[in-house]
Amino acid sequence: MRLLRELYYILLGFLQGLGACWLFLFRILRYTPGALLRWRIVWQQIYSVGAMSLVLIMVSGFFVGMVMGLQGYNTLSKFAATSALGTLVALSLLRELAPVVTALLFAGRAGTALTSEIGLMRATEQIAGMEMMAVDPVRRVVVPRFLAGAVSVPLLTMIFSAVGILGGFVIGVSFMGVDSGAFWSQMRVNVDVWDDVVGGFIKSIVFGGACSLLAVYEGYYSHPTAEGVSRATTRTVVNSALAVLVLDYLLTAFMIHGV
Partner 1 sequence: MRQTRSIEISTGLFIILGFCALFFLATQTTNIKAYGETGGYEVTATFTNVGGLKVRAPVTMAGVDVGRVTAIRLDPRTFNALVTMRIVSKFNEIPDDSTAAILTSGLLGEQYVGLSPGGSESFLKNGSKIQFTQPAIILENLIGQFLFNKAASGGKP
Per CB under 8 A, residues contacting partner 1 are: 40, 43-44, 46-47, 50-51, 54, 90, 94, 151-152, 154-156, 158-159, 161-163, 165, 184, 187-193, 196-197, 201
Q: Are 70 and 89 in contact (CB under 8 A)?
A: no
- The amino acid occupying position 180 is S
Beta strands per DSSP E along the chain: none
Task: Choose between 79 and 249: whose C-beta lies nearer to partner 1.
Answer: 79
Cα 44 to chain centroid, rounded: 19
Q: How far is the CB of 192 from partner 1 (least distance, A)?
A: 6
Instruction: Give the phi and the psi of residue 176 in degrees, each rounded to 5.
Output: -100, -10
Q: Would you list the DSSP string of 202-242? A: HHHHHHHHHHHHHHHHHHHTS-SSHHHHHHHHHHHHHHHHH
Element holding 143 (H helix, E strand): helix 143-169
Q: How far is the CB of 2 from partner 1 (least distance, A)?
A: 52
Q: Compute the distance between CA of residue 209 and CA of residue 228 in angstroms, rounded to an integer.
A: 24
Task: Choose between 136 and 192: whose C-beta lies nearer to partner 1.
Answer: 192
Q: How far is the CB of 173 from partner 1 (least distance, A)?
A: 14
Task: Choose between 157 and 222: whose C-beta lies nearer to partner 1.
Answer: 157
Task: Choose between 68 and 155: whose C-beta lies nearer to partner 1.
Answer: 155
Q: How far is the CB of 170 from partner 1 (least distance, A)?
A: 15
Q: How far is the CB of 79 from partner 1 (least distance, A)?
A: 9
> Is residue 134 left, alpha or beta, with left meaning phi > 0 and alpha meaning psi from -120 to 50?
left
3-state secondary structure 41-107: HHHHHHHHHCHHHHHHHHHHHHHHHHHHHHHHHHHHHHHCCHHHHHHHHHHHHHHHHHHHHHHHHHH
Q: How far is the CB of 205 from partner 1 (least distance, A)?
A: 12
Q: Compute the distance between CA of residue 35 and CA of residue 31 in angstroms, rounded to an integer.
A: 6
Element holding 170 (H helix, E strand): none
Task: Choose between 112 and 186: whose C-beta lies nearer to partner 1.
Answer: 186
Task: Choose between 46 and 173: whose C-beta lies nearer to partner 1.
Answer: 46
- The amino acid occupying position 56 is L
Q: How far is the CB of 247 from partner 1 (least distance, A)?
A: 21
Q: Are 64 and 170 in contact (CB under 8 A)?
A: no
Task: Choose between 184 and 221: whose C-beta lies nearer to partner 1.
Answer: 184
